[in-house]
Structure 1
Amino acid sequence: MTASVNDLITLTPKDSCNTKLAAGPWDFDTVPGYGPGSSQADRLPDPVSRPGQLPERYQLMPEPELHERILAAKATLGEELVILGHFYQRDEVIQHADFVGDSFQLANAALSKPEAKTIVFCGVHFMAETADILSAPEQAVILPNLAAGCSMADMADESSVETAWEEICETYGVDPENTLPDAEGKLPILPVTYMNSSAALKAFCGRHGGIVCTSSNASTVLEWAFERAHRVLFFPDQHLGRNTAKAMGVPLEQMPLWNPRKALGGNTAEQLREAKVLLWHGFCSVHRRFTVDQISQARAADPGVKIIVHPECPMPVVDAADAAGSTDAIQKFIAASAPGDRIGVGTEINMVNRLAAQFPDRTIFCLDPVICPCSTMYRIHPGYLAWVLEELVAGEVHNQISVEPEVAVHAKVALDRMLAAKPKA
């Protein structure tokens, strides 16, 4: 039997990014920052505070009892409840999910249960916001732990993006509030935000003719955008934008990086005029950990190994791999492999560990030898799930995520465009 990620963190402290991750997340939920783990060095915006609030009795409860309570609450709530679980969730939580998938799949899953009164999203804050925007008005969306945020999503805030948009539009000589198509029928620039962003930024895209993408449909979305505009402002993840556009044939010199702390993003006006994709200076802390050296070491140890990585990894890592794709694509790649295959994977350890257990006749391992899950996703613990479900049974709704109507209406425009942009086979 494959050891759980929590056990691995506990058993190999010298190799773990931070052994405090194995403790209950309530120990650090109220401390400013992203907590111990791979995101701890990320720069916080001003300010991010989504404190956890798990009652002490759930903190002290043995895990077997937590699972019994979760199962009992699910049975009582029946069809009125649906639990969504992202691929990166810990196994102790995933076992209770009705749907497991990537952000694109879970966005669709949120639409598939109109009879459910409550959607419990075991993921992070921006995912729960998206579920609230797409769900029916009478449905409540719950994030079990409000401290489960996303450092990448926080790297692009509404104020910084609005300021950047004004600078960019001024460079192109257009009105930032009312950009119009030119003689070719195209806009000078169109915003594209990755799913890993706040509802406010999704609304920004909706207001300016833009769209949301996921790692599953990023190439479809960029094709959609280039049909309508000469350029794209892609945020917050530079690596997904760069890897996707490069695969579509966009030269690197036409993909300048936009640093929101510098005038014109650190570029010249000429660079911006020649640009095809403006890449926001953001990244995923987990996927930034993967390196070309890790791939080289895996190939040196086993020349027959196959390597697949997530497109949030830096470009040299994606170029050095045999394949790159979303979490769903990684899962399909491994499912299509043959018994006896050896596969090194560049994505979050919970998912890799689960795939290794699912395909024991293959050797599946994480390229990063350091056991380090997504520290913010890891804040969803069975204790939080048991608490919110038992409160629902008692008629109380805790940790509800509600997007303001004026934000939701514009964000839904961009999300509906995303849902229509089907991932390529």
Structure 2
Amino acid sequence: MSSVNTAIQLITREEAENGRSAAGATCSPALAQGPWEYDLAEAAAGIPAYGPGASSSDAAPKATPRQGQLPEEYKLASDAELDARIRAAKATLGDRAVILGHFYQRDEVVQYADFVGDSFQLANAALTKPNAEAIIFCGVHFMAETADILSSSEQSVILPNLAAGCSMADMADEDSVEECWEQLEELFGSAPDSEGRAPVIPVTYMNSSAALKAFCGRNGGIVCTSSNAKTVLEWAFERGQRVLFFPDQHLGRNTAKALGVPLEQMPMWNPRKEFGGNDEQTLLDSRVILWHGFCSVHKRFNVAQIEKARADFPGVNVIVHPECPMEVVDAADGAGSTDFIKKAIAAATEPTTFAVGTEINMVNRLAAENPQHTIFCLDPVICPCSTMYRIHPGYLAWVLEELVEGRVANRITVDESVKDNAKIALERMLAAKPL
């Protein structure tokens, strides 16, 4: 099975030659370009952007990191030349460098990873290599920050393309969350109830900045992943009367609903509206206050796609990520983290048809790794994560060869004061055990 990038190149070429494609559709022909073309366009426009793909219509904050121009030799290098240079640099560096590849990375990058997994799995994987001088994180910015928080001060964390951010993480910035917190404290007060529970506990998803993890650490809060969101919410309810959950509304809603929290007790906080768009009584009656954020990849999935999959493939097993909208999760046969999806498919002992609602690179890889099953993405349009897709073998070759020459390019560092509080919230997450 060809990679997602190969499929995009084929579709784009056929559309250019014939005016249409028989191989499928992409959400943007610009996906066929090298990511350095987006870097150049953004520099010329003076406006940051996430690039083509699922987040292309999301507004990037002014402070969004931008990638400087990749040296010309890496742009012009063939796939074979980049492969040879990456492998040679890896061999030279040996145990001095470890490469982490997220599930959503393109195959052309994942093939070089020493570890492949979700963001927290990869941050923990790096801890198994304490002697590595450099951790090259082929993922997005918040993931590299988490690796820097958990790694030693002697290790350098590198993000091959600084423009690989996350639109969901950017939907909850520190200033907006602090302003929300101040308003909630004014409404709820700070005194615990008769059971010793605080008025509100902040919970941030792993897909957030180090600053917001630190905010949770300072304010009695905690971090969660899509794998342990249920356990973390139970932890928070033991300690608080209600939860402020950010930045992903869908993970928060789906998890709280599964715990029996009524939808009417899960108001949305929109930072662009006065008092989050709520009245006081609604907030006083709340159990979970959901931030107005979402994943643009998982927002693309809908019930109509599930209905079509069931019509086309009777008996299909539909599995989706909990970042999908509630109605999609409700209509699916199962919902869980990337690791849950991977394990659910691996556990199927008989040939099965799976329709999967998560990022296309992971779905495509699952199909290639499990040829005994029929596996396809619910979304028929190829539309990868915009920011993950900005990591390209050219950037990986560049940062590796810089290391060979004794230079650290694109280092991600978290300020020590932020790091200390963020680590508190992460350690609370690790200590939270299922009830």
- TM interval, shorter chain, is over 0.9
Where does the alignment leave 5 or more consecutive residues of structure 1 unmatched?
175-179
> In 1, distance between residues paired with 2:74 and 2:434?
40
SS at match of 2:165: coil
Q: Please say if 1:417 is aligned against 2:433.
A: no
278-287 or 112-121: which moved more? 112-121
Among residues 355, 372, 375, which one is paired with 2:383 in the alignment? Answer: 372
Matched-pair identity in %: 71
- Is residue 217–residue 422 contact of structure 1 (8 Å, CA) maintained in 2? no
Of 134, 144, 149, the match for 1:133: 149
Structure 1: distance between partners of 2:192 and 2:90: 52
Mapped to 1, the partners of 2:242 and 2:31 lie a distance apart of: 41
Q: Output one character per residue of 1:348-374: Cα deviation in whole Å (capped at 9) or x when no partner.
A: 000000000001111000000001110
2:78 equivalent to 1:62: yes
- Give the paired residue count: 418
**SS of 1:129's equivalent?**
helix
Match of 1:34 in 2: 50
Partner of 1:242: 253
Q: Contact between 1:338 and 1:362, CA under 8 Å: does it hold in 2?
A: no
User: Given the alignment of the two structures, is residue 193 of structure 1 paired with residue 204 of structure 2, yes or no?
Assistant: yes
**Paired residue type of 2:35:** P
Counterpart pick for 1:254 among 254, 260, 265: 265
Q: Distance in 2 between matches of 1:202 and 1:214?
A: 12
1:207 aligns with 2:206: no
Equivalent position SS for 2:152: coil
- Which of 162, 168, 188 is equivalent to 1:172? 188
SS of 1:375's equivalent in the other structure is coil
* Distance (Å, rounded) in 2 between the aligned partners of 1:52 and 1:181: 50
Distance in 1 between residues matched to 2:245 and 2:401, nearest whole Å: 41
Q: Is 2:307 the partner of 1:308? A: no
Residue 422 of structure 1 and its aligned partner are, at CA, apart by 5.6
1:52 touches 1:147 (CA, 8 Å); kept in 2? no
Residue identity in the other structure for 1:144: P
Aligned mates of 1:49, 1:77 — CA distance in 2: 28
State the 1:423 CA deviation: 7.7
Distance 1:218 1:34 in 2: 27
Give the whole-Å Cα distance in 1 for the aligned partners of 2:97 and 2:431: 26
Tell me, what secondary structure is at the counterpart of 1:110? helix
Deviations 1:293-340 (A, max 9, x none): 000000011121010000000000000000000000000011011342
> How far is the alpha carbon of 1:417 from its aligned partner?
1.6
Cα deviation, 1:124-155, whole Å, max 9, x if unaligned, reads: 00000000010001110000000100000000
* Alpha-carbon distance between aligned partners in 2 of 1:279 and 1:100, rounded to the nearest angstrom: 30
Give the TM-score normalised by the residue count of structure 1.
0.96
Distance (Å, rounded) in 2 between the aligned partners of 1:215 and 1:108: 16
What is the deviation of 1:105?
A: 1.0
Residue 417 (structure 2) aligns with = 406
Q: Does 1:107 align with 2:107?
A: no
2-structure distance, mates of 1:423, 1:218:
10
Change (3 A) 1:333 1:292: same
Does the 8 Å contact 2:230/2:255 carry over to 1?
yes
Q: Per the alignment, do residues 16 and 371 of structure 1 end up closer, same or farther by CA in structure 2, a change over 3 Å counting?
A: same
Partner of 2:27: 17
Query: Offset at 1:403?
Result: 0.5
Write out per-residue CA displacement over residues 54-103 of structure 1, whole angstroms, 9 at most, x where no aligned residue. 11110100111111111111111111111111000000110111110012
Q: Give the residue type in structure 2 aligned to 1:173.
A: G
Task: Give the deviation of 1:113 after TM superposition.
Answer: 1.2
C-alpha distance in structure 1 between counterparts of 2:230 and 2:89, whole Å: 41
Task: Determine helix, strand or coil for the equivalent of 2:192.
Answer: coil
Asked if the contact 1:126/1:199 (under 8 Å) is kept, the reply is yes
Counterpart amino acid of residue 89 in structure 1: Q
After TM superposition, list the pairs within 5 Å mapping 1:149-164 onto structure 2.
149-164=165-180
Structure 1 residue 46, shift from structure 2 partner: 3.5
Amino acid at match of 1:384: Y
**Superposed, which structure 2 residues align to 1:253-402 within 5 Å?**
253-402=264-413
Distance, in Å, in 1 between the alignment partners of 2:402 and 2:148 is 19
Q: Supply the RMSD in Å over aligned alpha carbons.
A: 1.3
Question: Which residue in 2 is equivalent to 1:3?
Answer: 2
